Amino acid sequence: MMREMVLRNVVHRPVRTAVCLLAVAVEVSVVVLVVGLTTGLLTDTAKRIEGVGADIMLQPPSASAFIGITSAPMPIKIGEKVAQLRHVASVAPVLLQFNASGLEIVYGIDPESFRAVSGGFVFHKGHDMKGPDDMVVDDVYAATHHVRAGQTYRYLEHDFTVVGVVEHGKGARIFVPIETLQDISAAHDKASLFFIRCNRPEETEGVMEELRSTFHGYQVRPLKEYLSLMTATDLPGLHAFIDSMIALAVCIGFLVIFLCMYTTIMERTRQIGVLKSLGASDGYIAQAILSESATLCVMGGVCGIGLSLLLRALALAKWPNLTILITLGWTAGAMAIALVGGLLGAAYPTWLACRKDPVEALAFE
């Protein structure tokens, strides 16, 4: 009886129901996509850093785990001191340059030392850098920006020659000689970080302790644990941004459900009077209205998950370098957020329906 009444009420006003479903779907998709995009970018960045193959990363004092947010570069000669430490097999200096127009980080590297630490690139086309104006890009960047080996590519107001396209997963998507990037960024004889490879993995902790005692205040991080360091709470403003977007989505669902259920109560005043005159309790009336609201939220949530998957597919087709991670946990969380927002939006209309006098309701025209 209750289920049939709820379903009939949902389909009785198809346009209003469609608007509610769309609002809840937008609410769910905003939560899923915002969290999926931020989580995906953090996870992808961390995996590419770990993919370098080093054991330790040395950064300047007060540097963030997010390597694009770092303090002033440190002298590149520090690398010579690091190389002299026990159990250090190789050291690769890297200068970072953030390109705001493309929202990407460029690695300025010394090909020989970077090869010693990482094991070298896996080339799809071309060869490694040899000259000062050479550039290597990964396959994802090449596909996204339609870059091919052998072409001249204008980047950072400098003409580079793309000499190679490599397999993605070695830190950045763009690599140029460190000396050239030092000239472009006016950071002569500077490096943003050092990738360090130990003789044996089990010696990593000992090398880290020696680095901390030798370079006081510098940030020493093991790359095997780097993924656990990349969380939204560690990036300034990102956690607040996610919370703001979730709050905005909840407000959308709350207001639309509130308006929908309020107009529903106004339209069904006489029906509520009939139910009360037949002995329906306030609890029964409340259950019927809240069940209708919950049904709309669940249906809208399912539509929102489908909308999220569709938008994700369209975004990845246009921008293959994006990483949007849609997880079961946050999908369920978005559904729960929509359901809670919808029930809160229906709370006042439910109270309004329960306090109606059956005699006045039956006399309502």
Q: Using one digit for the tens of pLDDT, what is the confidence trace for 166-175?
A: 999 898 899 9
Burial class (CB in 10 A: 0-12, 13-18, 19+), 101: exposed
Give the pLDDT confidence of 216-263 residue by residue, as tens digits.
889 898 887 776 666 555 555 667 777 888 888 778 777 877 777 777
Residue 361 pLDDT level (bands cut at 50, 70, 90): low
Say yes or no: 307 and 174 in one domain.
Answer: no
Whether residue 42 is predicted with pLDDT greater than 60 in this model: the reply is yes
Q: Per-residue confidence at 357, pLDDT binned at 50, 70, 90?
A: low
> Are 310 and 212 members of one domain?
no
pLDDT of residue 229: 64
Same domain flag for 202 and 261? no
- Determine the pLDDT at residue 166: 94
Residue-level pLDDT at 363: 57
Is the pLDDT at 142 greater than 60, yes or no?
yes
Cα separation of 113 and 142, whole Å?
24
Q: Do 311 and 182 share a structural domain?
A: no
Share of the chain above pLDDT 70, in %: 83
Give the model's pLDDT for residue 105.
86
At 27, is the pLDDT very low, low, confident or very high (cuts 50, 70, 90)? confident
Give yes or no for residue 198 having a pLDDT over 70. Answer: yes
Q: How confident is the model at residue 206 (pLDDT cuts 50, 70, 90)?
A: very high
Q: 291 in a domain, yes or no?
A: yes
Q: What is the mean pLDDT of residues 326-331?
A: 85
> What is the domain extent for residue 126?
61-217
Burial 311-320 (b: 16+ CB within 10 A, else e): ebeeeeeeee
Please report the pLDDT score of residue 212 as a whole number.
Answer: 92
Same domain, 69 and 168: yes
Asked if residue 37 and residue 76 are part of one domain, the reply reads no
188 vs 72 pLDDT, higher one: 188
Q: If you average pLDDT over residues 275-292, what whole number do you get?
A: 76
Asked whether residue 52 is assigned to any structural domain, the reply reads no
β-sheet bridge partners, residue 137? 165, 174
Is 49 a domain residue? Answer: no
Local structure of 22: helix, strand or coil: helix
3-state secondary structure of 85: coil
Output the average pLDDT for the chain.
83
The answer as to whether 344 is a domain residue is: yes
DSSP 8-state class, residue 232:
G
Total structural domains in the chain? 2
Side-chain-side CA neighbours of residue 2 (13 Å): 12
Q: Can you tell me the mean pLDDT for 303-309?
A: 92
Residue 226 within a domain: no
CB-CB contact of 54 with 92 (8 Å): yes
Final residue in a domain of this structure, among 158, 185, 217: 217
Co-location of 75 and 209 in the same domain = yes
Domain boundary residue among 174, 189, 217? Answer: 217
Burial of 86 (0-12, 13-18, 19+ CB in 10 A): exposed
pLDDT at 325: 84
* Single-letter amino acid code for the residue at 111: P
pLDDT digits (tens, 9 = 90+) for 43-101: 887 788 888 889 999 998 877 666 655 556 889 999 999 999 999 999 999 999 887 66
Instruction: Please check whether residue 266 lies inside any domain of the structure.
Output: yes
Residue 98 covered by a domain: yes
List Cα–Cα distances, 341 to 140, 214, 290, in angstroms.
39, 54, 12
Burial class (CB in 10 A: 0-12, 13-18, 19+), 331: buried
Higher pLDDT, 362 or 65: 65
Q: Is the pLDDT of residue 151 over 80?
A: yes
One domain, residues 337 and 197:
no
Tell me the average pLDDT across 144-156: 91
Same domain, 131 and 200: yes
Q: Which neighbouring-strand residues pair with 221?
A: 57
| pLDDT surpassing 90 at residue 30 | no
**Residue linked to tokens 């360090």:** 196
Q: What pLDDT digit, counting tens, does each position of 269-280 carry? A: 667 667 667 777
Whether the full predicted model's pTM is greater than 0.85, yes or no, is: no
Same domain, 335 and 198: no
333 domain-assigned = yes
For residues 193 and 300, membership in a common domain is answered with no
241 and 339 inside one domain: yes
The larger pLDDT score, comparing residue 246 to residue 111, is at: 111
